[in-house]
A and B are shown apart, each in its own frame.
Chain A
Amino acid sequence: MEYPLLKIKNLNKAYGRRTILKNINLDLMHGEILGVIGSSGSGKTTLLNAIIGFVKPDSGDILFRMKSPLGPTHVLYAKLKDDAKAIKNLYGFASQLPSFYEKLTVKENLEYFGKLYNLDDDTIESNSETLMKLMNLENSSNVLGKNLSGGMERRLDIACAMMHNPKILILDEPTADLDPVMRNNIWNLIEKINRKGTTVILASHHLNELETLCTRIAILKEGKIIGVASAQELKETFYKDEAVKIQTYPGKYHALGEYLMNLFPNQIKKFSVNENELLLACPKPQEVLNEMMEAIKRKNERIIEIKIVHPSLDYIFMNISDAK
């Protein structure tokens, strides 16, 4: 039987009257990439901050699987407050805002944080070399942190988090504010890291990308985990209908979406505007597709692309988010 690396049990956190995390129960299994998705303010960052101990939960436990003195077969869990030093060695964390010294070079940052984790000079040397290569930072080893680009900052941040070879890598919005190319690089990087045996837990709002990357995804809504499963399982559980994806010119999607909703109130359940495209939740799209195309033309929108798609994680999430 495989025991989780991290167990979150009945975790609650509230700020004043506002409950942020409600009875969170979550296991992190060894070797997986666990994605945490949720709308802004749903509690993703608070959950990750609670895992690393930056936020003190009001109740509940966060347990890390430790090396047992009784041997590998014996399972031992510990709370952060019980053995902070050992647990802090277990994870590496990269927050939304890259966390390193801007006035130290890439190499100096890695060396410094390596020292903080009590690594010897040789290990620091080899780890920083490996990580710089992995993060594609070897040509920037002597560049000051403040002079790095957004993508490089993010990579350095992850490198710093990885410097001590943690078992768990915790990433909060690792691709936020990055362009698609850079985002892709980071996802590839996370994949590489995971392949090397590091368990990853990450929060992101780029749901489509998580869909392909994550082993499991936890959906957080108003502080509650409403589902934890693989992307496919989530799709099957939460939504089986199809959707219509429309790209038009000039692309006044919001107005167009409202127009179509009014026109086909029984066929279109809802619409969303997502990255220069209009997505219509439509259980039986074939029935209204032609009429819909006519209506779009009437609205002075030139159709660039229109296609029937299976719901993406985005779409499922959107539905879940809006569900009362």
Chain B
Amino acid sequence: MNKLFTAIQKSIKILLRSKGSAMIVLLGPLLIVLIVGAGFYDSTPAALNIGVYSQGNSNLTQRFVKNLDTPENNIIQYTTESSCIDSIKQGLIVTCISFPENFVLEDNKTNKVKFYVDESRVNLVYKIISSLSFNLDVESGQVSQELTSRLLQIMVSSSARVDETLNQLVDLSSTSNSAKQTSEDVRNSVNNLDAKDVSLNFGNVSTKTEDINYAFKNLRDSAKSTVESGHELLNAITYNGTEVENLKSDISYLDKWVHKSNSSVSDLDNITSTIINSTNNIELLQRKLENTRNTKANVLDKMYTLSDNINKLSTGLSLIIDKQKAIQSDINSFKFRDARSIVNPISTKIEPVSSSGNKITFSFPYLLMLIVMFVGMMLSGTLIFMEKDSRAFFRNFTAPVKDIFFFVSTFLTSFFIVLVQTIVIVVLVALALHVPLFSNLGITAVTIFLSMTAFILLGMLLGYLFNTSEAIMMSTIALGSVMIFFSNLILPLETLAPIIQSIARLNPYVVASETIRKAMLFGAGFDTVYTDILILLVYCVAIIILIMIVKQAKAKKQDAIKYFRKEDDYLLIPEEKQIHISHKDLVIKDVYSLLDAFRALSDSEYLHMKKQDIFGSWIEHNLKNKKLASAVRKGSRKKSIDAVLKYLNR
């Protein structure tokens, strides 16, 4: 343990004494936090320069522009659309809004307001469009509201008129119904008129009456003659008996009848005359009746037509009433009478699910993980490289310690430094910027601990994987950048393709930052974040296994490299390419003789030859090692010897 502590202490000392590394690795994150904190802590964002171009300065345009002119926006008017667009390209404005010519509200006219944006500024474009669209939507909503108000007024007055009309129609319908009834009654009455065709032959009546009259007269005459005959008979009969008496009575009766019949004949004549008159009257009446019947038929026909028309009228009225009622019902069923309710039937309000805080609170999990990730990876990668590249590598190798000791000491050194930095940052941010980091300390601490472990191990993996500091730094930056890009820091993960999205969700940076966010902002418990914690644990284990594999592979590869390089070392350069330093009796024919030559030459001799680039050029062309050539070109004799020795001991 004591040994481990000494190793950590040694690494920290070395790190601190490398001023560049100390500045970047130790102070860098604190500076980042300071700058980002200052940048995000103020909730008032800087005003965005918005370019506006309008072909005609209509009232509507002015209204829209006025609505955009908020403290968040700085409106710049342009006289041409192209100059407005050019300003975006030059970065002077973030967007150009082009209003159409004759920007007025007319039927069947679509007014298009164009937004020109620089899509390369991906993150800003969405913000601008959503922000400005909102402003314009507000104004557009206002215009819609006005139009709707007018529409509603028309609708309400129409409804009132429909109401009135409906009552009138109902009255009319009622009148129509009664007319229909009257018509029915009239028709029935007419129908009930007895004007049947009675075929009376009054011509016969006159004839018969005359025949009767004649027969009666004949009868009377016969009776009279009979009576006269009776009287003569009686006068001739001198007999007196009953029979004569009866006969006398009969003849007397007949005589009376005949006497009466004279008057009857007169009456009969009168009657006949009357009958004839009556017959004529009847015939006249019959003709009139005939006319009446014809008229009745006509009346009935017309009554039928009338009744039919009244029926149609009534049906039509009913339909109109039904439709009017339907219209009224529809109008009544439309409950909205306030234009605002129609234009914005659903009002939205964004309610934060987390407790309110400044922007740093929301972005801090990402920022913290960013620092942990980069510092962890860079620091551990740097430490691994420092150990590998250190002159003490050989001595460490000969020391009676296992390889795992250096692995653990590097890990613990990195962990300690990142931990100290994290604590400093967390405390500073919690106290100065009021970020609620301690609200769910358990989960937050576990996540930070695991993410630190994962990123440090990842950096160590890169350190073991690559042989130059440049490669380690580049791979760290590249890997870190990929992790940042495929996270919620730049663009929401939801904007990615589904398959990439699901992979990106396993990105350790995403897992760690999201877990801290959930813990810090929503107080997520272990039951909520245990999957994330498990993923981070799996990452740690997986990276350790990878490191073991890489170390094994590297050890083998190292042997292979030694194998090939050693072959190169022993490779004799053809005689014509060998350097002869005759006054020292030296021949440079391989890397060993080169080393001997450097050792044998005096500093001034070496400098003289170096100026002619004899060694650098020979190394570059024959040993094909630009790095060594460069070191020899730059260095003194002693440095060149060191460089060759380093080359031989690699």
B residues in contact with A273, CB < 8 Å:
584-585
Q: Could you give, for residues 231-259 of chain A, a 1 whenever the CB lies within 8 Å of some chain B CB and a 0 otherwise?
A: 00000000000000000000111110100
Nearest A residue (CB) for B570 = A18
Residue of A16, A89, A95 near B563 (CB, 8 A) is: A16
| Contact yes or no, A115 B2, CB < 8 A | yes
Q: Is the interface of A mostly helix, strand, loop or mixed?
A: mixed
Verify B391–A98 contact, CB threshold 8 A: yes
- Tell which of A16, A52, A91, A252 has the most Cβ of chain B within 10 Å: A16
| Chain B: minimal CB distance from A93 (Å) | 5
Scan A72-100; emit 1 where CB is below 8 A from any B CB, else 0.
Answer: 00000000000011101101110111111
Q: Which of A32-52 contact B (CB under 8 A)?
A: 40-41, 45, 52
Which of chain B's residues has its CB closest to A250's CB? B583
Residues in B whose Cβ lies below 8 Å from that of A254: 582-583, 585
CA distance A116 to B402 in the complex (A): 10
Interchain CB contact under 8 A, A112 and B400:
no
Which residues of chain B are near A113, meaning CB under 8 Å? 395, 399
Tell me whether A117 is interfacial, beta carbon within 8 Å.
yes
- Which stretch in A103-111, A126-134, A208-216, A308-316 binds the other chain? A103-111
Contacts of A117 in B (CB 8 A): 399-400
Query: For window 144-177 of chain A, which residues contact chain B by CB distance below 8 Å?
Result: 144, 150, 160-161, 176-177
User: What residues of B have a CB within 8 angstroms of the CB of A16 in the complex?
Assistant: 563-564, 566-567
Which of A89, A91, A255, A273 gathers most chain B CB within 10 Å?
Answer: A273
Cα A260 to Cα B13 with chains together (Å): 61
Q: B648 to chain A: which residues have CB within 8 Å?
A: 45, 96
User: Chain B residues with Cβ under 8 A from A85's Cβ?
Assistant: 400
Partner of B566, one of A15, A97, A176: A15
Which residues of A have CB within 8 Å of B641?
A: 176-177
Q: How many residues of B contact A (CB 8 A)?
A: 46
Within the complex, what minimum Cβ distance (angstroms) separates B619 from chain A? 16
Chain B window 392-405, contacts with chain A (Cβ cutoff 8 Å), 1 for yes, 0 for no: 11111111110000
Among the 9-residue stretches B108-116, B534-542, B592-600, the one with 4 or more Cβ atoms under 8 Å from chain A is: B592-600
Chain B residues near A144 (CB-CB < 8 A): 17
Residues of chain A within 8 A (CB-CB) of B337 are: none
> Which residues of B are found within 8 Å of A54, using beta-carbon distances?
394, 397-398
Q: How large is the interface on A (under 10, 10 to 19, 20 to 34, 35 or more residues)?
A: 35 or more
A16→B582 CA distance, assembly (Å): 33
Residues of A within 8 A of B7 (CB): 112, 115-116
> Which residues from B are CB-within-8-Å of A184?
none
> Are B585 and A95 touching (Cβ within 8 A)?
no
Across the interface, do A41 and B400 meet the contact criterion of CB distance under 8 Å? Answer: no
- Contact of A103 with B18 in the complex, beta carbons under 8 Å: yes
Tell me the minimal C-beta distance from A83 to chain B in angstroms: 10
B393–A99 touching, CB < 8 Å: yes
* B570 contacts across to A, CB distance below 8 A: 15, 18, 20, 41
Bound CA span A56–B397, Å = 14
The residues of A that contact B583 with a CB separation of less than 8 Å are 251-254
Question: Is there contact, CB below 8 Å, between B398 and A52?
Answer: yes
20 A–B pairs (Cβ distance < 8 Å), ordered by A: A15-B563, A16-B567, A40-B596, A41-B592, A45-B648, A52-B397, A89-B400, A91-B398, A95-B394, A95-B649, A101-B14, A103-B14, A103-B17, A103-B18, A104-B14, A116-B400, A116-B401, A117-B400, A254-B583, A272-B585
Q: A residues within 8 Å of B by Cβ?
A: 15-18, 20, 40-41, 45, 52, 54, 56, 84-86, 88-89, 91-93, 95-104, 108-109, 111-113, 115-118, 144, 150, 160-161, 176-177, 205, 251-255, 257, 272-273
Ordered nearest first, which 8 A-B pairs have the shortest CB separation? A40-B592, A273-B585, A88-B400, A15-B566, A116-B399, A115-B6, A99-B395, A99-B394
Given contacts A18-B567, A41-B570, A91-B398, 10 further A-B contacts (CB under 8 A): A16-B566, A18-B566, A88-B398, A89-B400, A97-B649, A101-B392, A108-B13, A116-B399, A117-B400, A160-B395
